[in-house]
Amino acid sequence: MISNIDTYSHVRGESIYLDDIPLQVGTLFAKVFDSTVAHAHIKHLDISKAKNYPGVRAVIIHSDITGENQIGGIIPDEPLLAENMVDFIGMPIAIVVAENEHIAKKALKLIEIEYEPLPIIVDPREAHRQGKYLSTPRHFNLGDTEIAWSNCAHIFEGKAESGGQEHLYIETQGAYAVPGENGFIKVYSSTQGPTAVQKTVSRVLGKPMHQVEVDTTRLGGGFGGKEDQASTWGAMCAVAAHITKSPVKYSLDRMEDMRMTGKRHPYSSDYKIGLDKDLNIIAYEAQYYQNGGAAADLSPAILERTLFHATNTYNIPNVKTSAYPCKTNLPPNTAFRGFGGPQGMFVIETAIVQAAEALGIEPHVIQHKNLLKTGDEFPYGQKVVSEAIECWTEAETQFNFQEKIKSIEAFNNKNQLIKKGYAIMPICFGISFTKTMLNQARSLVHVYTDGSVLITTGAVEMGQGVNTKMVQVAAKTLGIDESFVKINSTNTFRIANTSPTAASATADLNGKAVEIACNKIKERLLISAAEDLGVSESDIAFVKNEIYINGEKSKLSWKDLIFSTYAKRVSLSEHAHYTPPDIHFDTNTEKGHPFAYHVFGTSIFEITLDCIRGRYTVDSAQVIHDAGQTMNEKIDLGQCEGALVQGMGWMTMEELIYDKEGRLRSNALSTYKVPDIYSVPKDLDIRFLKTEKTNLAILQSKAVGEPPLMYGIGAYFAIRNAIKAFNPKALVPFDAPATHEKILLALYGKYGEI
Amino acid sequence: MISFILNNKIIHTLTNPATPLLDFIRYESNLKGTKIGCREGDCGACTILVGEIINDKLSYRSVTSCLFPLANAVGKHIVTIEGINREGALNPIQEAMSNQNATQCGFCTVGFVMSLTGYALNKKGHEKEEAIASIDGNICRCTGYKSIEKAAGDIVNHCNAFAEGSKIERAIACGAVPAYFQGIEDTLKELTNTKEDIEANGWTIGGGTDLYVQKHDELLDVKNEFISQQLVHEPIKITDSGIELDGRCTVTQFVNEPLIMEHFPCVKGLGVLVSSTPIRNMATLAGNLVNASPIGDMSILFLALNASIELTSAQGIRSVSLSQFYQGYKKLDKTKEEILTKILIPKRATLGSVNFEKVSKRTWLDIASVNSAFWIELDGNNIKEARISAGGVGPTPAILTQTSTFLKGKNISSQTISEACEMAQNEVSPISDARGTVEYKKLLLSQLIKAHFLELFGIV
Ligand SMILES: Cc1cc2nc3c(=O)[nH]c(=O)nc-3n(C[C@H](O)[C@H](O)[C@H](O)COP(=O)(O)OP(=O)(O)OC[C@H]3O[C@@H](n4cnc5c(N)ncnc54)[C@H](O)[C@@H]3O)c2cc1C
Ligand code: FES
Ligand code: FES
C-alpha cells in the first residue's frame, strides 16, 4: 500500500503551495482595509491619501467592481466589498494594491473612515428573539413526540452550548491572479472549491466562466475553511488584477485570516429527552440556535446537517427538531469538518449524560441500550444500515472497558487531589453532500504513448490523501504500477463544474469517475490486445504493467500495448462522469434518502485531572472505527488520528472569545490554542473494523475525512466525569469547550452546587 | 553589510538588518522550503537552525526565523531545509517522517524536520523525550502528532547508534546533516564582520521574541540596536554577593546552567513551561524583564528570588531592585538608553526553597493565565521568610507583599495556607481577558499558592 504520494516532496520542503508559486515580473500585492466595528453605516470614506502614497497602484472600493459586488454562494447576501454598511468586524471595505506588502500596509493606515454605529448582535438567541435569520428555519419530525412524552418514565430538559472553532490551517488563505489576453484571467487559489472561485470571479468581473481559469495544486490544510471562503481572496485578486492590468497576489497574514474569515458555528441549543422505564429513549426534541454570522455562506446547509445528525447513533422513534440560522454581527461562519453534525451530536450526548446523572447510572448504559440497528429509521426517513453495535461491542471487549471502569474507580478512591474520568463516544455520520445536486464528479484520464498515465479530477488535495487514492484507483483499474500514474493539479479548464472537496465524499465521487474513465480506456485496450495476441478479450488480464493470457505472461507489455493501440488510431484518453444512484431528499417533507451510506465507530476516552490546578492530561483515546474495507490504511489512520485530535481541541482548549462589540479577542495563535504534541492522548489506539456490508464507497473503502472528528466529543464528557468524581455536587454547565478556566470554576463549585 | 553562511553559501547583504530572517530566506534567497504559518513564533513552520561558535566550538540551535532579525545572523551558519536535503534521496530524519506517514498537508512538515535535525545536532541522552521536546514548538493541524511521535522514536533509535566524535561529527555520521557541515567551523572563523556604528534611534533588540510579535512593521523603519548578535559565552558568574547573570543569557542557557539547577531545581519544570524550544533558544532574560508583561515567567521567578538588575548607559551603571523596577503597566524605572546588563540573585536566595507554578489555556507553549513563584526559608517548622510573586493578577508582575509578610513566623499548616490564600485575594486586581476572567484568575491564584505548599511540603 502506497504512502501519500506527496510525502517525498513534503519532507524536503519541495511541495509548492500558493505562496511558493514563482511570481511574474510586475506582480503587485493586495491588502484589505476592513471594518473595525461590527455593525454600522459608513458615513464617510476617504481613500485619497492612500491612493497617492508612493508605490500604491490602486485602492479599490465597491464602486470599482465591474461585475456584481456579490460573493454569496447559496444566498446572494454578501458583498465582496462593503457598500454603505458594515456587518462584522473584519468585513472588507477596500483593497489596497501596491508594489510590495510593506507599502500596502502603510497605505492602509492612510484610509479615513467614519462610522455611524448600529446595534450589535453577537448572541444567536438574541437574533432569534428579533427574528433575524439568514435563511428559513428548518424542522424535522419523526413519530409524534407529543404523544410520546406521556409514555415516558423520565423526562429531562436542558441547555447546551458549543463554541466555534477556528480552522487554523497552517497555510493561511490566499490567491494569485494573473491577467492574460482578451480579458482572460488565471487565478491560483488555495481553495477546496476551484469552481466556487471560478464562479465568484466570473460574477464580480462580469465575465463568462470560460474566461476564468482556476488552478489549485494543494492546500496547506483546509478543514472546510477554504470551501466557500477562499473565493473572497480569489475574487479580490482578480478584481485588482483586472483593474491594474498586472498580476496581483494576496496571501493573508494570520491575524487577518483569523479576523476576517468565518469559523465553525457556535450553537446554543435546548433539548428535552424522554426515556421509558427500561431506559429506551422514546422521545427527543431539540431547538438549535446556530450562530451564523453576518451572511449566509454555507450556514443553511450546515444547519441541515445538524438536523440529520441530531440523534447521532441512537434509535429514537419520536423526534422533533428545529434549527434556526441566526444572523449575528460576526464574520459569516462556515464549513468545518463535520459541517454542523458535531454540534447536533453534542446536544444529544449532553441530554443522555444529564439523564444518566439524574438517574444515578452511567451514561454508557443509556448509550448502549439505544444504539441503531439495521432497519431502524432515521428522523429524515432513511433506513439504517448499521454497524453501531458491532463497533461498540468490539470497543468494549478489545479495550477491556469493564476493567477500565474498575481501575478508574479504584484510582479515584485512593486519590483525593487527582481524579480520573472516562467517557464513551459512539458516532454515526452520513456520507454524501446533503444537497443532492452536488453528488457528481468527473475525471479526465490520458494515457501517453510511453505508457505513462495522467489523471485529473475535481478533488483538491489538502493533506487528506485524496490524490493518492485517485492514483491507486487508476493503477488498480488499469493493472499498472502506481509510479506510472501522475495526478495533475485541480483546474477548472480541465474539469468543469466541480463540487467542492467536502462532505468526506470527494474520494468516493471522484474515485468512481476515475474508475469509469480507466475502465473505458481499458475496454479499448482489451480489444487492441486481443487483436495483437490473437486471443479473445476474456482471456486477457492486465497485471503489474504486463499483459497476461489466462494467467500466463504474454510477450506484450503495457508499454507495447499502448503504442500499438495508438498506432491503430484508437483514443487513449477518456473523460468520465459519475453520480451515485438512489440519493434523493425532499425539503418539503424533509424526508428522503440523502446519504449513500453511514460511517460508525466507538471511542473510549480516559483522562486524569489535576484538581488543584484544574488541568488534565488525556491518558488514552481508544477507537473502533468502521472503515469498510480501507483502500489505504496509512492514509485512513492518519485521517482518524488527526480528526480525533481536532475534535478534542474543539471540545477542550480551542476557545473563540468574542466580546459584546463583536470583536474576536482570541485573535492570534498566542491566544487561540490548538492541541500541541503534549496535549494529545498519550495512548491513541485506533483500530479499523473491517465491515463487510456493500456500500457505495470507492473500492468499499468508507469515507474517513469527517466522521472521526466527533470522537473528540468524548474528551469533553471524560473531563466532566472527572470533575464529578472530585466534587459530585458541582454544577457543571454543558458548555464546551471545557477550558482550564471552566474546569477549575466547576471543581470548586463556582457555577453552583446541586 | 551583514555576512553569514546560508546553507553552504557565503552571503554578504545590505538588506535592512531588521528584516526577519524568514523573509530574507524566502523572498530574497528564494528558498521556499521554510514556511510561514503565523509570524509570531507560535507555529514552528518557519523553524531553521542557527550555528555559531561559542567558546571556540560550533554549536546549533533551532529558532523560528519569523522572529529572528537578519542582523542576528551575522557570523553564523543559517541552515534551512535546502541545506540538509540530499540529492535524490531522503536523509534518515526525512525517511522516518515518511515511513511513519507523519506528513499530511505537509505545510508544517519542514518545521518538524528542522527541529528534529536540531535534536540530532544537540543530542545529549538516549531517551525519546529529548526528541519530542525538540518539537514542542511545532504545531501540526493535520496529523494529531502520533505519527510524528513515532517518527521521532525511530530517529532516536537511529541516532543512538552513533556515539563517536563531536556532536557535529555524529550528526554527519548518522546522516542527519550533510558532510559539508564539517567545514563550517573553519569558514565561520574566517568570516570577518566589521560592526558598523549606527546611530540607533529605534529599539534595543535582544532575542526579538517580543519585539517582532509586537512591532513587526515598525522595526523596519528605524535603526535598531541589536545587542544579542552572539550568544553570550559566559552567561553566569558566582560572586561574593550571589549569582550574577548576563542580561543577554537566553532562557535555554539559563535553564541548562548546572549552577541554577543545583540551587533552584524548580527551574527544570519552569523551563518546559516557558514558550518552546526555538523561542527559548532566542529569548533573553533581559528581554523578558524589560518587556514587563504582567505574566512574564522570568520576571515572576526573579521577583521571588529578590533579584536586582544592573542598568547601563552612557551616564553610568546603576542597580535597581526588580520589585522597584516595575512601576505600572509597562512603566519601568529605566530610560530608553539604558541597557539591562546584569541580573543579580542574592546569596540569601540560595538558602531557601523555591517553587514555580503556571497554568495557561494550553499547558505547553502558552502564556500563563496566572503564574506564581514562591521562595521560602524555614526555621524548623516555622517560616523564617517567604516571598510570593504572582503574574496575571495585576498590571505588573509583582510580589504579594502582604501575603509574604503575613507568612513570616507562621508554621506550615493548612490553616496558614488557607489564610495566605485569602489574604492574597485582597492584594490583587486582575482583569478579564482572553486568558481568563477575574473570577478565574483569583481562584487560580489561590490554587497556585496551595500548589506551592503541596509541591514543597506535601500539604494543602
Ligand atoms: C511563541 C512565544 C511564546 C512565548 N511564551 C512565553 C512564556 O511562556 N513565558 C514568558 O514569560 N514569555 C513568553 N514569550 C515572550 C518572550 O519570549 C520573552 O518575554 C522573552 O524573554 C523576551 O526576550 P527577547 O530577548 O526575545 O526580547 P526582545 O523581543 O528582544 O525585547 C523585549 C523588550 O525588551 C527590550 N530589551 C531586550 N533586551 C534588553 C536589554 N538587555 N536591555 C534593555 N532592554 C532590552 C526590548 O527593547 C523590548 O522592549 C513568548 C514569546 C513567543 C513569541
Ligand atoms: S511562522 Fe509561525 S513560528 Fe514562525
Ligand atoms: S501536516 Fe498539515 S499541518 Fe501538519
Centre of ligand 2 from the C-alpha of residue A251, in Å: 15
What does chain A come to in residues? 754
CB A83 within 8 A of CB A41: no
| Residues B164 and B190 occupy one common structural domain | no
| Residues B161 and B188 occupy one common structural domain | no
Verify whether the Cβ–Cβ distance A221 to B142 is below 8 Å.
yes
Is residue B214 in some structural domain?
no
Q: Which domain holds residue B170?
A: 92-177
Share of chain A above pLDDT 70, in %: 100
| Residues B401 and B326 occupy one common structural domain | yes
Measured from the Cβ of residue A269, the count of other Cβ atoms closer than 10 Å reads 27
Of A260, A288, A306, the residue that ends a domain is A260
| Residues A177 and A322 occupy one common structural domain | no
CB B168 within 8 A of CB B178: no
CA torsion through residues B417, B419, B422, B428, sign? negative
CB A239 within 8 A of CB A204: yes
Is residue A73 in some structural domain?
yes
Which amino acid does the sequence have at B299? Answer: S
CATH code of residue B297: 3.30.465.10
| Residues B140 and B248 occupy one common structural domain | no
Q: What is the pLDDT of residue A223?
A: 98
Mean pLDDT computed over every residue of chain A: 97
CB A475 within 8 A of CB A482: yes
Helix (H, G, I), strand (E, B) or coil at A460: coil
Is residue B218 in some structural domain?
no
| Residues B144 and B194 occupy one common structural domain | no
| Residues A98 and A62 occupy one common structural domain | yes
Is residue A583 in some structural domain?
no
Is residue A130 in some structural domain?
no
| Residues B268 and B378 occupy one common structural domain | yes
Site residues for ligand 1, CB cut-off 6 Å? B 40-42, 67, 203-211, 213, 227, 247, 274-275, 279, 282-284, 286-288, 290-291, 296-298, 339-340, 367
Q: What is the pLDDT of residue B200?
A: 80
Q: Name the residue in chain A with its Cα closest to that of B144.
A: A642
Task: Encode pLDDT of A396-418 as tens digits.
Answer: 999 999 999 999 999 999 999 99
Of A578, A613, A641, the residue that ends a domain is A578
User: Could you tell me which residues are beta bridge partners of residue A454?
Assistant: A446, A486
CB B69 within 8 A of CB B19: yes
Q: What is the pLDDT of residue B145?
A: 98
Site residues for ligand 3, CB cut-off 6 Å? A 170, 221, 463; B 103-109, 140-143
Task: Report the distance separating Cα A36 and Cα A40, nearest Å.
Answer: 10
Q: Which domain holds residue A686?
A: 267-434+589-747
| Residues B318 and B341 occupy one common structural domain | yes
Asked if A750 is an interface residue toward chain B (Cβ–Cβ < 8 A), one would say yes
- Collect the ranges in chain A with pLDDT lower than 70: none
Task: Classify the complex by whether its ipTM is higher than 0.90, answering yes or no.
Answer: yes
Domain count, chain A: 3
| Residues A296 and A408 occupy one common structural domain | yes
| Residues A383 and A498 occupy one common structural domain | no
Verify whether the Cβ–Cβ distance B217 to A102 is below 8 Å.
yes
Q: In the structure grid, which three cell numbers stand for residue A529, read together? A: 490486445
Q: A-chain residues within 8 Å CB-CB of B35?
A: 13, 17, 19, 170-171, 220
Q: In the structure grid, which three cell numbers stand for residue A302, read together? A: 450546515
Rg, Å, chain B Cα set: 23
Is residue A128 in some structural domain?
no
Is residue B221 in some structural domain?
no
CATH code of residue B52: 3.10.20.30
CB B280 within 8 A of CB B133: no
Q: B-chain residues within 8 Å CB-CB of A7?
A: 97-98, 101, 103
| Residues B141 and B157 occupy one common structural domain | yes
Is residue A227 in some structural domain?
yes
Contacts of residue A140, defined as CB under 8 A and 6 or more positions apart, other chains included, come to: A307, A310, A319, A320, A321, A379, A380, A590
Q: What is the pLDDT of residue B192?
A: 76
Provide the 8-state DSSP code for A563. H
CB B386 within 8 A of CB B404: yes
Task: Encode pLDDT of B12-36 as tens digits.
Answer: 999 999 999 999 999 999 999 999 9
Q: Is B37's C-beta closer than 6 angstroms to any atom of ligand 2?
A: yes
Task: Report the distance separating Cα A249 and Cα A234, nearest Å.
Answer: 9
**Catalytic machinery residues of A:** 706
| Residues A533 and A593 occupy one common structural domain | no
Q: What is the pLDDT of residue B196?
A: 67
Is residue B33 in some structural domain?
yes
Task: Report the distance separating Cα A509 and Cα A194, nearest Å.
Answer: 16
| Residues A57 and A196 occupy one common structural domain | yes
Place of cell 520542503: A13
What does chain B come to in residues? 460
| Residues B173 and B188 occupy one common structural domain | no
| Residues B62 and B96 occupy one common structural domain | no
CATH code of residue A533: 3.30.365.10
Ligand 1 probe mutation, B279, B359, B364, most atoms within 8 A of CB: B279
Which amino acid does the sequence have at A642? Answer: G
Is residue A162 in some structural domain?
no
Domain count, chain B: 3
Q: 3-state DSSP: chain A helix, strand, coil percent, rounded to 5? A: 35, 25, 40
Is residue A137 in some structural domain?
no
Locate the DSSP E strands across B33-167.
47-54, 57-64, 77-79
Contacts of residue A421, defined as CB under 8 A and 6 or more positions apart, other chains included, come to: A408, A606, A607, A609, A718, A719, A720, A721, A722, A723, A724, A725
* Burial call A464-499: b when 16+ CB within 10 Å, e when fewer: bbbbbbbbbbbbbbbbbebebbbbbbbbbebbeebb
| Residues A106 and A241 occupy one common structural domain | yes
Across the beta sheet with A56-60, the strand order is A56-60, A92-98, A28-34, A248-251, A174-179, A185-189, A212-216, A490-491
Which amino acid does the sequence have at B271? Answer: G
| Residues B126 and B248 occupy one common structural domain | no
Mutate which: A677, A679, A687, vs B, most B CBs within 10 A: A677
CB A723 within 8 A of CB A649: no
pLDDT per residue, tens digit, chain B (460 aa), is 899 999 999 999 999 999 999 999 999 999 999 999 999 999 999 999 999 999 899 999 999 999 999 999 999 999 999 999 999 999 999 999 999 999 999 999 999 999 999 999 999 999 999 999 999 999 999 999 999 999 999 999 999 999 999 999 999 999 999 999 999 999 999 987 766 667 788 999 999 999 999 999 999 999 999 999 999 999 999 999 999 999 999 999 999 999 999 999 999 989 899 999 999 999 999 999 999 999 999 999 999 999 999 999 999 999 999 999 999 999 999 999 999 999 999 999 999 999 999 999 999 999 999 999 999 999 998 999 999 999 999 999 999 999 999 999 999 999 999 999 999 999 999 999 999 999 999 999 999 999 999 999 999 9
Is residue B223 in some structural domain?
no
| Residues A543 and A664 occupy one common structural domain | no
Ligand 3 probe mutation, A170, A218, A674, A676, most atoms within 8 A of CB: A170
Task: Encode pLDDT of B403-426 as tens digits.
Answer: 999 999 999 999 999 999 999 999
Three-state secondary structure of A519-551: HHHHHHHHHHHHHHHCCCHHHEEEECCEEEECC
Is residue A412 in some structural domain?
yes
Task: Report the distance separating Cα A569 and Cα A564, nearest Å.
Answer: 9
* Burial call B212-226: b when 16+ CB within 10 Å, e when fewer: bbebbeebbeeebeb
- Which numbered atom of ligand 2 lies nearest the CA of B67? 4
Q: Which of A641, A644, A615, A642 has the alpha carbon at shortest distance from A715?
A: A644
| Residues A245 and A302 occupy one common structural domain | no
Q: Is B45's C-beta closer than 6 angstroms to any atom of ligand 2?
A: yes
| Residues A595 and A730 occupy one common structural domain | yes
Of A532, A553, A578, the residue that ends a domain is A578
Task: Encode pLDDT of B423-442 as tens digits.
Answer: 999 999 999 999 999 999 99
Q: In the structure grid, which three cell numbers stand for residue A201, read together? A: 470571479
Q: What is the pLDDT of residue A1?
A: 82
| Residues A738 and A600 occupy one common structural domain | yes
Q: Which of B149, B147, B175, B151 has the alpha carbon at shortest distance from B161?
A: B175
Among A10, A19, A642, select the one facing B106 at the smallest CB separation: A10
Contacts of residue A534, defined as CB under 8 A and 6 or more positions apart, other chains included, come to: none
| Residues B294 and B418 occupy one common structural domain | yes
Q: In chain B, which among 27-66 make CB contacts under 8 A with chain A?
A: 32-40, 42-43, 45
| Residues A419 and A459 occupy one common structural domain | no
- The DSSP bridge pattern shows strands A683-690 and A615-628 to be parallel
Q: What is the pLDDT of residue B199?
A: 76
CATH code of residue A60: 3.90.1170.50
